[in-house]
Structure 1
Amino acid sequence: MNLSQLRVDTVKGIGEESAKALGGLGIYTVQDLLEFFPFRYEDYSLKSPGDVAHEDRVTMIGTIQSEPSVRYFGKKKNRLSFRMVVDGVLVQVIFFNRAFLKTKIQLGSTVTVTGKWDAHRLTITGSELKFGEIERQGNVEPVYHATSTISSKQLQRWIKVALEMYEHQIVEPLPATIRERYKLLNKTETIRHLHNPLHPELVKQARRRYVYEELLYFQLRMRVFKQQHRELQTGRQLIVSRDQLDPFFAQLPFSLTGAQNQAVDDILADISSPYRMNRLLQGDVGSGKTAVAAACMYAVVKAGAQSALMAPTEILAEQHAKSLADWFEPLGLSVALLAGSVKGKKRTVLLEKIATGEIDIVVGTHALIQEDVFFHNLGFVITDEQHRFGVEQRRVLRSKGESPDVLFMTATPIPRTLAISVFGDMDVSVLNELPAGRKPIETYWVTHDLFERVLGFIEKEVMAGHQAYVISPLIEESEKLDVQNAIDLYTMLANHYQGNIQVGLMHGRLSAAEKEDVMSAFAKNDTQLLVSTTVVEVGVNVPNATVMVIYDADRFGLAQLHQLRGRVGRGDAQSTCILVAKPKSEVGKERMRIMTETTDGFVLSERDLELRGPGDFFGSKQSGLPDFKLADVVHDYRTLETARQDADVIISSNVLEHDEEYAHLARYLKEIGAYEGEKID
C-alpha cells in the first residue's frame, strides 16, 4: 500500500492517543511521519581547537588538568571552571550555575564537553558535559519540533521504527537520468540521512536531493496549470485597441516611459485574446504602475465592461480613487470608492450603482469581496500589492465577474529569474524605468551623533516649502531593543522645532479615521514633518515630500528600506534619504552601504539575495506558494531555476507518455488533475 494511505498508528509503538497527538503536528500517515524532518541538527562529532571557528558550537574531549573552582555571584548564580588538554592544547572550560558538578570532576579524568567556542581565549562555555569518551564520528543528533506531549526524542524513536518497517516501500519518483545528471541520492537514502545522518555532509546531500524534488514538483504544477489556464479557462474577449487610449493619454500631464508603453501593450493583448489574463506587473517604487493600470481600465470601460482595483489599505485605496477620478471624470467615466468606512445609506446607494453598471471603475479594500457586492459586468480585476492578499481573497474578487481578466501589481522588487520561477503560472511585465522628470534619490548613511545636523537639513528643506518623513521601527519604548521609538521621536522633534514646523504622528495603533486625519493633514501641508512607523511603507504619495529620515535603519531589511525611501522622490524636486544607524554586524553595515550605492530596486533585490538569502519578497501564506517541507524559494533560487528549466523540458517533450522512468511524475500530475496523459506544448 502507498505510504501516504497508511495510517500513522500502523507504526509499532504509536497508539490511538499518540496518533491523535501526532495529528496536531500534521502527521496522519506513515509518509507524513517519514517526511517530518528535523529543524536542526546537533553535531557532536569531536573537534580539535585548531579546526573550529570562533563562536562555533563544538564538542571536544580532553583530560582534566586542574581542580574545578566555583565562584558565586548574585543570590543564586555561580560559575564553575576548570582546564583540560584537548589534542595537546590547554583549553579553559566554563559552566554557569552548575556548581553541583564540582564533586564529580576529578583531576586526570576524561570528559566530553559541548558548548560555544571562543577561539581568542581558547575557552568553551559549556552546555553539556559527559564523563568518558565518545566516538569521533557518527554523532549528529536530529532535533525535531516538539509539543507538550511529544518530545524530540520520542519522534526520533518512532521515525526509526517507521524506517525499519517501511523503508522498502519508499517510492523513487525521480528518473535515474535526472539523479545521475545532478549526482543526487536516491529517495530512500535521502529520508534515512535526513533522520539519521552519520556526518553533517550527508545532511547537506540529502537536503539538496529533497529540495530539488520539491521544487521540480512545484514547477511541473506551475507549467501545466499555466498551459491549462490558456487552454481551458477561456474568458470574455473584449475588443480593445491602443487607439482607444488617445483621449486618456492626451490629458495626462506626463508621457509614459518605454517600459510603461510595453506593459500597456502586453496587457491590452491579453485582454483582446480569448484566454483569461493572469499577469503580474512588477515595478520599482515610483515607476508608474498606476498609470499603466489606469490606461488599461480606460480601455476596458470603453469596450463596455467595468473595472475593479483592490488595495491592501484604506489609505492606499483612497489615494488610487482620487488619482483615477482626477484622470477619468473629465473623460466622462465614473469612479467610486468602496471601503470599510463607507456605511449606511451611502453604501446601499453605491452598491446599487455598481450592480446596475452606473459606476465604471470601483476602487476598494477587502470590502470589495463582501457577499453583498455585485457587479453589472466586471471585465477587469487589479489587485495592488498582491503579496498582501491571501489567495482566497483574490479568488473571491475574480469570481465577482464572468472570467474577468486579472492583473496583479507589486512594488516589491523581485529578481526577474526568481519572479519567472516563482510565478511560473503567470506572465510577468516589468517596469524598470523612472518616469520623465524624476530625479534619483540621494541616499546618505550617518551615525546617531550627527542627528543634530540631520534636523538642520530637515528645517532647511521645510523652509524651502517641502516636507519630510522621520521613520522609527517601534511605536513605544522597548525593554528588549535599544532603538528609538516613534512616540519619543515625535515628542523630541516637536520640542526641537517649537512650533516653527508642524509635526504629525502616525502609527499602526491609530484607528482608520485617525490615520486618515493624519495623512490628510500631511497631504495638505498642514503638517510639514511626519513621524511614523512603517505604516507609510506602501503606496503613500505626497509629491511635496523630499526628505526621508529612517532612524535605527539597521533594524530594517533592504526591501523595506527601499520601500520607505520610495515615499519621496515623487515630484520634480531633488529628494534625499538619510539612514541613521550604527550597525553592529558586518551584514548590517553592508546593507547601509548598498542603500547608498543604488536606487534600483531590482539591483537591490539581487544584492539582498547574495547578502542573506531569505528576503522580504515572499511568504507562502501571502503569495500562495506551497508550504515546502525543506525548500526555500529564495535560499534555493538556483535550484528553483534549474527545476523550472527541467520542468519545461519534461512537459514540452513526450517523456511523460512514453518513458517509463517518468511514470511516477505523470501519475502525480494526473492525481492532482494537472495532466490528462496527452502531450502539452
Structure 2
Amino acid sequence: MATVAELRDKLRRPLLAERASGHQNKIVAGGVEKLLASPLGNPFPGVREALKGYGDLDEPGRAAALNAALNVLDGQDAAAKAPRTPRAPARVAVPTAAPGERLPPDADLARLDTGPGGTRKLNSLGLHNLRDVLHAYPHRHEDRRALPDLSEVEEGQKVTVEGTVVAKSRRSPKPGMLILDVTLETPAGGRVKATWFNQPWMERQLRVGARLVLTGRVKKFGRSVQIGVEHLETVEDAKGSLSTGRIVGVYDSKDGISQEFLRRAAYRALEAVPLDDYLPAHWRQKYGLTDLSDALWGMHFPHDEAQLARGMNRLRFDEYLFLELRVLLQGDDAVLLGKRFQATGDDIHRFEGALPFQFTGAQRRVLLEITDDMRSERQMARLVQGDVGSGKTAVAACALYLAVRDGYQGALMAPTEILARQHYANLSGYLGQLDVRVGLLIGAMTAKQKLEMQTRIAEGDVDVVVGTQALIQENVRFDNLGLAVVDEEHRFGVQQRRKLLAGRPDVLVMSATPIPRSLALTAYGDLELSIIDELPPGRTPIETKLLQDTHRQQAYGFAMRQIREGRQAFVVTALIEESDTLELLAATQLSEDLKVILPEARIDLLHGKMSAAEKDHVMTRFRAREFDILVSTTVIEVGVDVPNATVMVIENAERFGLAQLHQLRGRVGRGSAQSYCVLISGENSRKTRQRLGIIEGSTDGFVIAEADLKLRGPGEIRGTRQSGVPDLRLGDLANDLEIIEQARELAKHILAHDPKLEHPRLQYLRSELQNRSQSVAYREVI
C-alpha cells in the first residue's frame, strides 16, 4: 500500500504539469477536480479545498488556486508549518449578452447563453470562443423533414415521420426489459409502428391522440414498417425546432453533451456574431462563391440541399485558401528576389548534345518551365516530380550547367550517402565533358578530405557540389551559390533546407515519389509544380505478379532462374528484428532462410541499423556483382541504381502502401533487360487482393498515387513530410483538385499585390488567417 509521501509525489506531478500547460485544465481526463475526487486526493483535504471550483475559474484564478494547493501539498509533512489554506479568488462573472446584442467572433463563450454548465461543455470539446463554435461544422447531415409516405423506404434507412398516436402498448419479453409500442397514423393515411426499449419515462408522452414527430431507423416486416425511435418531439414543439422538420447537422460530441445542446449553441452564435465577409464580392463572384453568412447558416441550418451545397463549397474553398496563404507566407519564397540567369538556348543545346540520349517531350517542357524561372528576377522555387526512370536528374544537371555558365556555383543535396554518390557519378558523367568541375562532400569522408573540399568550395574551385547534410554544416561556405537542387526534400527538415538557401539561390526540388497534384499543391504550396510524365523510349515495363505466401517457393524459384542467367535480385521485408505482433519476416531471419532455400545463391543483407559506410560498402559490392541477392529493408526504397538487378521480391506486400510498393518496384528495370516484381502477400482478404491488384495492373506512378490517396489519406502518404498537411474538416484531397487550384491562384494573387496583408480591405482576411493558424511562429510572419 502506498505511503502518504508516495501519494503526495503522485499528486504533485500532474499538478505541476497543469501549471506548466498554462492552467488549461486538460492534463487529466475530466479535469483537476476529477483527479482530486479519486482516492489519490483523500489524504489531502486542504488541496481539495484550495482547488474547489477550479474548472469555473479564469486563468489568473486557476493560477492562484493551483499555487495555493501546491503550497498546501508541500507543507503536509510538517503540521506546524502547514499554511492556512487560502481561498481561491472568486471568478469574475462574464456578463451574458443582452438579447439582440452583437458579439465579436473572439468573444468568450460565457457571453453566449448556453444554459447551466454550457461553457464548460463547449470548452471540453476544444471550443473556447464564438469563432470556434461557428467553425465546428457538423460531420454529417440528416434529412429530418417528415416523409408523407413510408411505402418506398428501405430497411435500415433513417427517416422522420409525423403522425397521431392511435394505439399504444407495453410488453416485457424477459425480466428487466420493457418495450413500449405505439402505432402512428400519418397525414397520408398510412400507419407505422414505433418502438422504445427500456425507456419507461417516455410512456407519459405517448398518450393516444398525441401528435408526434419521430426520427429513427426503419425495420420492415412484410408490408408493415417499424421505426426504432432515436428522437421525438411533439408537433407543437417541432415548430421552429432545431432538431426535426429540417435538414439537421450532427456534430462531434462526447458523453453528456447532447446534439440538441450543440445545435442551440451554434444557432445562438450565428445570431450573435456579425458575419463580416473576409472575401470581397468581386472575388466571390469570380470563383462562384456564396457570401460567408449564407455559407455558415447553410452549413449549420440549411433551408434545403442547395444552400447546404453552397455552404460546403464556400467553406471548403476557404479551408484551402487559408492553407495556401499559410504555406506561401511560411515559405518566404513567394516574394523573394533570387538570381537572374541568362539560360540561353545555345547552352541548353550544348548540354543536350553531350548526352548519350535526347530529352523526351516531357523533359523539354519541364526544362522550359525551369529556364523561365531562372531568367526571372524572382527566386525560383519549383518542385519537379517524375516517376522512376523519367529523367529528373538529367533535367537538374542541365539547370546546374546553366547556372555554372553564368559564373555561379550549384549544389545538389541528397538524403543518403548512397544516393549522393550515385548523383555524383551521374553528374560527373553529364557535366565532366563540358568542363564543369563536380565535387562530393559526405560524412563518410575523412577530416582531411572534408577540409580540402570545403576549401575548394569556398574558393570557387568547384562548380557543382553533391552531398548530404554535410553541405549545410556551419563550416561550409559557398563562393557564389546560384542554384540549389534538393532531392527527396521531404526527408529534410524545414530548417535544414533553409540553411542551404540562406544566400537566396534559385531552388529546384526533385521527388521520385509520385503524389497526386492536389496533394502536391497543399504539401508543397510554396513551390511551383512541374511533372515529367513521360518515360524515355525503349523502356520495357516491369512485369508484376501477386502471389499468396503459400506460393513463396515459386517466387524464389523464379528468382534463382534469373540468377543462373547472370542477373541479380532484391528481396525486401519490413522489419529488422522478429516481431510477434506484426508477424513479419525479419530481414535477418529471411536472409538465413534463403541461404537454405537457395544454396547456390550468394546472399547479403542491408538494413537501417547499419552505418552509412556499411550500407555504401554493401551496395558497392552488389553493383560489382559480388553477390546475387540483396535482402533489405526499405532502405533501398528511393534512388538506388543497380542495372543488372531484374527481380524484386517484396515479402508481406500488404503491409506497404501502394506508393511505397511502386517505389520499391522501381529499383529494378534500370537496365535493358526485362525485369519483374513479385508481391508476396500474407493476407488473402478481398480488400487486400483488390488493393494490391492496382500495383499488379499499373506501372503509372501517378495513377497508383491517386489510388493510394483515396485508400489511405494524405497523412500516411506524406507521413515523412515534417511540416505536414493539416487535417481538413471539409476538404477531400482525392477529389478537390479544381478547388485547390482556384484557392492557390487567389492566394498567390493576394500576396503578389499585398505580401503582408496590410491593406484595410484585407483586415478581416488577415484576422481570420491569424486566428486559424496554430503556430506562434507563423503568427509572427504577418
TM range (shorter): 0.7 to 0.9
**Aligned residue type for 2:252:** V
Report the Cα offset of residue 211 of structure 1. 1.2
In the alignment, does 2:252 pair up with 1:143? yes
**Match of 2:338?**
235
C-alpha distance in 2 between matches for 1:585 and 1:181:
48
- 1:270 corresponds, among 373, 388, 409, to 373
Q: Could you tell me how far apart the structure 2 residues matched to 1:13 and 1:91 are?
A: 32
Counting only pairs closer than 5 Å after superposition, residues 412-561 of structure 1 correspond to structure 2 as 412-415=513-516, 419=520, 426-481=527-582, 483-498=584-599, 500-561=600-661
Q: Give the equivalent residue in structure 1 for 2:704.
A: 604
Segments of structure 1 that go 5 or more residues without pairing to the other structure are 71-79, 96-100, 120-127, 657-661, 674-681
Three-state SS of the structure 2 residue aligned to 1:143 is coil
- Note the alpha carbon deviations across 1:384-438, whole angstroms, 9 max, x for none: 1233334443333211x2x311111112224457656875654433222222442
Indicate which of 190, 214, 233 corresponds to 2:319. 214
Q: Which residue of 2 aligns with 1:169?
A: 274
User: Structure 1's 404 and 644: CA in aligned 2 closer, same or farther, altered over 3 A?
Assistant: closer
Paired residues of 1:33 and 1:159 also in contact (CA < 8 A): no
Q: Report deviation, 1:191.
A: 4.9
- Report the residue type matching 1:168 in the other structure: V
TM-score by length of 1: 0.72
Aligned to 2:680: 580
- 1-side partners of 2:179 and 2:558: how far apart? 57
Q: What are the equivalent positions in structure 2 for 1:337-352 lying under 5 Å apart?
A: 337-342=440-445, 344-352=447-455
Structure 2 CA distance for aligned equivalents of residues 195 and 492 of structure 1: 60
For residues 738 and 123 of structure 2, the distance between their equivalents in structure 1, rounded to whole angstroms, comes to 34
Once the 2 structures are TM-superposed, how far is the Cα of residue 633 of structure 1 from its aligned partner?
Answer: 3.3
Describe the shift of the 1:636–1:321 C-alpha distance in structure 2 as closer, same or farther (beyond 3 A): same
Q: Distance in 2 between matches of 1:612 and 1:2?
A: 41
Shift of 1:636: 3.0
Post-superposition offset of 1:362: 1.8
Match for residue 363 of structure 1?
466
Summarize the alignment of residues 97-246 of structure 1 with structure 2, pairs less than 5 Å apart.
141-143=250-252, 160=265, 163-164=268-269, 167-174=272-279, 187-188=292-293, 191=296, 207-218=312-323, 233-244=336-347
Q: How far does residue 576 in structure 1 lie from its aligned partner after superposition?
A: 0.8
Is 2:376 the counterpart of 1:376?
no
Q: 2:18 maps to what in 1?
A: none
Q: Judging changes above 3 Å, is the alpha-carbon distance between structure 1 residues 486 and 265 closer, same or farther for their aligned structure 2 residues?
A: same
Of 485, 492, 513, the residue aligned with 1:389 is 492
Deviates more, 1:426-435 or 1:354-363: 426-435
Task: Output the CA distance in 2 between the equivalents of 1:410 and 1:383.
Answer: 9
Q: Which residue of 2 aligns with 1:570?
A: 670
Deviation at 1:249, TM superposition (A): 4.4
Matching residue's letter, 2:571 = V
Q: Taking every aligned residue pair, what percent have the same amino acid on both sides?
A: 38
- 1:279-358 correspondence to structure 2 within 5 Å: 279-329=382-432, 331-342=434-445, 344-358=447-461
Matched residue type, 2:672:
D
Query: CA offsets per residue over residues 583-639 of structure 1, 9 Å max, x none?
Result: 655553333333233212233334445666648654695467566554343353343
RMSD in angstroms over aligned alpha carbons?
5.6
In the aligned structure 2, how far is the partner of 1:69 from the partner of 1:479? 45
CA contact (8 A) 2:483 2:505 kept: yes
SS in 1 for 2:251: strand
Superposition pairs of residues 629-668 of structure 1, within 5 angstroms: 629-643=729-743, 668=765
* Residues 152, 307 of structure 1: alpha-carbon distance in 2 compared, 3 angstrom cutoff: farther
CA contact (8 A) 2:637 2:660 kept: yes
- Determine which of 255, 264, 283 is the counterpart of 2:358: 255
- Distance in 1, Cα, partners of 2:245 & 2:263: 24
**Cα deviation, residue 649, structure 1:** 9.3
Aligned equivalent of 2:97: none
Amino acid aligned to 1:566: G
Separation in structure 2 between the aligned mates of residue 587 and residue 477 of structure 1, nearest angstrom:
26
Give the aligned residue type for 2:377. Answer: P
Q: Which amino acid in the other structure matches residue 471 of structure 1? A: V
Which residue of 2 is the match for residue 678 of structure 1? none
- Which range moves more in the overlay, 371-380 or 640-649? 640-649
Q: Deviations over 1:51-72 (max 9, x none)?
A: 6789x99999x999774599xx
Q: Output one character per residue of 1:629-669: Cα deviation in whole Å (capped at 9) or x when no partner.
A: 543433533432454577799999x9x9xxxxx99658636
1:11–1:158 contact (8 Å) kept in structure 2: no
Task: Give, as a single letter, the amino acid of the residue that structure 2 aligns with 1:210.
Answer: L
Structure 2: 5+ residue stretches without partners: 1-101, 162-167, 185-190, 208-214, 221-227, 235-242, 771-782
In structure 2, distance between residues paired with 1:636 and 1:474: 36
| Separation in structure 2 between the aligned mates of residue 640 and residue 169 of structure 1, nearest angstrom | 28
Distance (whole Å) between structure 1 residues aligned to residue 336 and residue 446 of structure 2:
36
Deviation per CA, 1:515-551: give whole Å up to 9, x if none.
Answer: 3333333233223212223222111111111111222
Counterpart of 1:171 in structure 2: which amino acid?
Answer: D
**Does the Cα contact within 8 Å between 1:609 and 1:615 map onto a contact in 2?**
no
- Local SS of the residue matching 2:546: strand
Measured at CA, do residues 116 and 89 of structure 1 come closer, stay the same or move farther in structure 2, by a change above 3 Å? closer
Query: Shift of residue 377 of structure 1?
Result: 0.5
> Does the C-alpha gap of structure 1 residues 619 and 194 become closer, same or farther in structure 2, counting only changes over 3 Å?
farther
Rounded to whole Å, the distance in 1 between the matches of 2:416 and 2:260 is 43
Match of 2:16 in 1: none
**In structure 2, do the counterparts of structure 1 residues 255 and 167 end up closer, same or farther at CA, with 3 Å as the change threshold?**
same
TM-score, normalising length: structure 2:
0.64
